[in-house]
Amino acid sequence: MAAQESLTGLLAATSLFQDLDEPALKALAQEMRKVAFEAGQLIFTRGDEGRDAYLVTEGRVRLSVLTPEGRELSFAHAEPGSVFGEIAMIDEGPRSADATAVTKVTAHALSRSAFLRAAEKEPALSDAMMRFLCRRIREADQQLEAIALCPIEVRLARFFLAAVNAKEADDLDSDVEIQFTMSQSELALLIGASRPKVNTALSMLESSGAIKRGKNSILCNIEELENIAGLD
C-alpha cells in the first residue's frame, strides 16, 4: 500500500500526469508494473518495437542516438520522476533512440493499452500528453541550436540553469545547490563536446564564480550563469 501511494505521489509530480485527480492517479498506478535494470543494461534500442513508456523511480537512464560514423550523441538523462519511451507508446512506431541504464534503475512501465484506458476516462490526460510532446520538441530544437552555435561554456551554463529550474527553487536570484553525480564523460555526451573541453569549461565557470563544485553537488550562482548563458 505504501509503495502504491508513493507511486501515485510520483505520478502527480510529473508534468505529464499532474492534472489527473487522485482516483485517476491511483487507477493509473495500478496499471503500471515495476521493472528493474542493471547499470550498463540496454533497455531498448533505436528501431525496436515499443509499446511501453517508463517512469523512473530510482537511478538514471541515458537516451542517445548513434551517428552514421558511430559517435554517440546523448540528448537527455531520465532521472527519478522523468518519463521516457512515450513516443513509441503513443504512435506505435519504432523506438526513436537508445535507452541505457547509467546506474541501477528501478522504473514503472505503462503499456499503450493502459494509457488509452486512462485517457478515455480522463480527457485531460490526452491534452497533457500533447503538451508534453510539444515541450520535448522545443527542448530538442534548443539543444541542437546550442550544439551548433554556442561555445561550450554557454552550453554548460544553460545546462545548469535548466537543472536549477527543474528543481523549482523558490528564490532564483540566490545561489542554488543541485545534486550532481554525473561524470564529465556523461556531461560531455549531453552537450556535444569532448571530456577535456568540458573539464576546461567547468574550471572556467568555477573561476568566474558561476558554480562551485562539491563532492556530489554543484552550487549555482544564478546571476553569473545567466550572464554567461546570454540570458541576462
Domain borders along the chain are 2-147, 150-229
Lowest-pLDDT range of 34-38, 40-44, 89-93, 99-103 = 89-93
Count of C-beta atoms within a 10 Å radius of residue 209 = 12
* Fold agreement (2-147, 150-229): no
Residue with cell 513509441: 88
d(CA 79, CA 75): 13
Q: Around Cβ 117, how many Cβ atoms within 10 Å?
A: 14
32-41, 47-56, 59-68, 201-210: the lowest-pLDDT one: 59-68
Query: Closest Cα to residue 94, out of 42, 43, 45, 49?
Result: 49
Q: 135: which residues sit within 8 A by CB, 6+ positions away?
A: 15
| pLDDT band at residue 165 using 50, 70 and 90 as cut-offs | confident
Q: Which residues, 6 or more positions from 169, have their beta carbon under 8 angstroms from its beta carbon?
A: 176
Q: Give the global pTM.
A: 0.71
- Please state, in angstroms and as integers, the Cα–Cα distance from residue 209 to each residue in 30, 183, 201, following that order: 47, 21, 13
pLDDT of residue 44: 95
Which amino acid is residue 132, in one-letter code? F
Distant-in-sequence, close-in-space partners of 86: CB < 8 Å, separation ≥ 6: 16, 53, 129, 132, 133
CATH of segment(s) 150-229: 1.10.10.10
> Which CATH class for the 2-147 domain?
mainly beta
Q: 226 or 3: whose pLDDT is higher?
A: 226
- Nine-digit cell string for 141: 530544437
Cα angle: 59, vertex 188, 228; to 5 degrees: 110
Three-state DSSP state, 223: helix
Q: Do 177 and 171 touch, CB atoms closer than 8 A? A: no
E-assigned strand segments in 49-197 = 52-58, 61-66, 72-78, 83-84, 98-101, 105-111, 175-179
The pLDDT of residue 69 is above 90: no
More confident residue, 145 or 206: 206
